[in-house]
Structure 1
Amino acid sequence: MKAFVFPGQGSQYSGMADDFSIYPEWNYYSELANKTLEIDLISIMNGDENILKITENAQPAIFLASYVAYKFLEKHNKTPDIIAGHSLGEYTAFAVAGVYDFETGIYLVRKRGEYISMAIKPGEGSMAAVLGVSPEEVENLVKNYEGLYVANYNTSSQTVISGLKSSIDKFIADAKKNGIRARELVVSGPFHTPFLEMAKEKMAREVEHIKFKPPKFPIVMNSTAKETSDPEELKHYLLEQISGPVYWYQSVKRMIELGASEFVEVGPKKVLTNMLKREKVKALHFQELGINI
């Protein structure tokens, strides 16, 4: 049983449009992205790293690259039995499963990025990866800091915390004193925390009138680490993960329980592939499948 997984923010890099332009599906979908968003997304993807990493730019950039990669695999009869996406990647998963079309997906991720950026003043929120300790220990540690939450359960030994920048700074300083590895992430805000409740409410208004269709493949959701094919549940949990944690490690375990024996990361970079390999899970990046372009 094969699982396809789609990466989230942090997988973007300057030059990614040039790199993904080798795929036959690129021209059609890149032009459609520019037309839908009314911006020159391709120039942004090849341009200044600091402009690209802005949430409302990075999210549609990763969505576009990941979707093109999937269409390339689909053309070569490489399809999954089950899918999941990490944070932003969940929106890509919905698109490839036919829950909504490409145009709807790229519009939604652009809006998601804009609303996240508006939810808290720049510089007031941040995130950090905590390495080498269990998620349970991290859960106990964050209780000692104001406005700090567990945001991503990535692996058995990598947990991401999120919240007030001042609390992140204090956590990292305290962690160093106690021999715990923690490093701040280059992000524009406190993703997956109650600070983004306003962004969630605005996204709810965006999706309210969009008809979600049953997916072609079961989707394991970030918010529950459970699979669902019900359109209303998909809509509900897609919104929940904006201001709630991503149970990625638990989602991977669930896919394995359901019979997934091979994972393929579909998108730029190898962030998810590397995390899966650290857990001794068989994982490949889609470019390692040996398909000739």
Structure 2
Amino acid sequence: MRCFVFTGQGSQYLGMGKDILEKKPEYELYFDKVKNKIRVDIKSIIFGTDEKELTLTQNAQVAILTISYMKYLNALEEGLKPDVVAGHSLGEWTALLAANVINFEEAVEAVYYRGLYMSEAFEPGKGGMAAVIGMDLNEIEKVLANYPNVQIANYNSPSQIVISGEMEELLISMEKLKEGGARKVVPLNVSGPFHSKFLKDAEERLRRKIEHLEFKKPRVPIVQNVTAKFETDPVFIKENVIKQITSPVRWIECIEECVNNGVDEFVEIGPTNVLTKFIKQINKTVKLLNI
């Protein structure tokens, strides 16, 4: 069985997607679809020179979705088809596209506002995230027990856990984690404490924004970050993708769930190969392909 996995925020870079557009110039039409839907010239942002503009949460999320979708379409044309799909955080929206749960324009609008609401939910500089590398999960949890305003945001791999929270406590906890034996604790270049309780306002705003949006039954199961289970019910899928904003990304469990249900090949689709690296750390026996 083959699972397509889709990359999340942080994988964006200026000029990404140049390879796919040289190969498939007809995919330019998806930039036009974005512009028509949300009035953002995402092509100019991706192929411009202002990295800060691309890094803005709402721009980064739309850019990654668009390029990932192009690469997905090309994979289909080349005969690669998924039996199941999954995405890391934002990547779950590309997974919804791959499963035909919603269409491209609907995804673009939802993702743009998702990013905007996330960036507006917390005052800039008051919250953040950090990757804890090379430390046992139990030890991380022991340290964080002393800091109620910091929580685990991403269970990425056995050697990388991401924490999220209020900046003052986050900085203190980062030092305590280093003292406690973490190999590295790296601050992430994000605009707020994503996947934490502090983004409740963004979750509720997204809920209202997409309440009219009809989610269809997926043509293949989707393994979602919130439940780490194979989901096929459109009502549950929609609720999970909303709750994802304040819930941790249970990526280790998502991959284990796939393997336990017969997946032996993972194909990463997106601008980078970060998920391929995580999966390699989670399970060393599965076949890995990066597009």
TM-score with structure 1 setting the length: 0.94
Mapped partners of 1:105, 1:23: distance in 2: 24
- What is the distance in 1 between the residues matched to 2:181 and 2:175? 10
Q: In structure 1, the residue corresponding to 2:244 is in which secondary structure?
A: helix
CA–CA distance in structure 1, aligned partners of residues 275 and 239 of structure 2: 24
Q: Which residue of 2 aligns with 1:61?
A: 63
- How many angstroms does 1:218 deviate by? 0.3
**Is there any run of 5+ residues in structure 1 with no aligned partner, and where?**
287-293
Instruction: Note if contact 1:152-1:160 (Cα within 8 Å) is conserved in structure 2.
Output: yes
User: What does residue 22 of structure 1 align with?
Assistant: 22
User: What's the CA shift for 1:136?
Assistant: 2.9
Contact 1:266 1:285 in 2 (8 A): yes
Shift of 1:110: 0.4
Is 2:198 the partner of 1:187?
Answer: no
1:3 is the counterpart of 2:3: yes
By how many angstroms is 1:195 displaced? 0.5
TM-fit CA distance, 1:219: 0.3
- 1:278 is displaced (CA, Å) by 2.3
Q: Which residue of 1 aligns with 2:132?
A: 130
More off after superposition, 52-61 vs 179-188 = 179-188
Q: 1:135, CA displacement in angstroms?
A: 2.4
Tell me what 2:144 maps to: 142
Q: In structure 2, do the counterparts of structure 1 residues 201 and 223 end up closer, same or farther at CA, with 3 Å as the change threshold?
A: same
Q: Distance in 2 between matches of 1:222 and 1:178?
A: 28
SS at match of 2:46: helix
What residue in structure 2 maps to residue 167 of structure 1? 169
DSSP-derived class of the 1:243 partner? coil
Q: Distance in 1 between matches of 2:179 and 2:118?
A: 33
2:208 maps to a residue whose letter is R
8 Å CA contact 1:23–1:68 kept in 2: the answer is no
Pairs aligned (count): 286
Q: CA deviation at 1:17?
A: 4.4
Question: Which residue of the partner structure matches residue 197 of structure 1?
Answer: 200
**Partner SS, residue 188 of structure 1:** coil
Secondary structure class of the residue paired with 1:209: coil
Matches of residues 66-77 of structure 1 in structure 2 within 5 Å?
66-77=68-79
> Structure 1 residue 35: deviation in Å?
1.5
Any conservation in 2 of the 1:162–1:192 contact (CA below 8 Å)? yes
CA offset at residue 171 of structure 1? 1.6
1:150 partner SS: strand
Distance 2:199 2:223 in 1: 22
2:42 corresponding residue in structure 1: 41
Q: TM-score, normalised by structure 2?
A: 0.95
CA distance in 2, matches of 1:19, 1:163: 37
Of residues 80, 83, 99 in structure 2, which corresponds to 1:97? 99
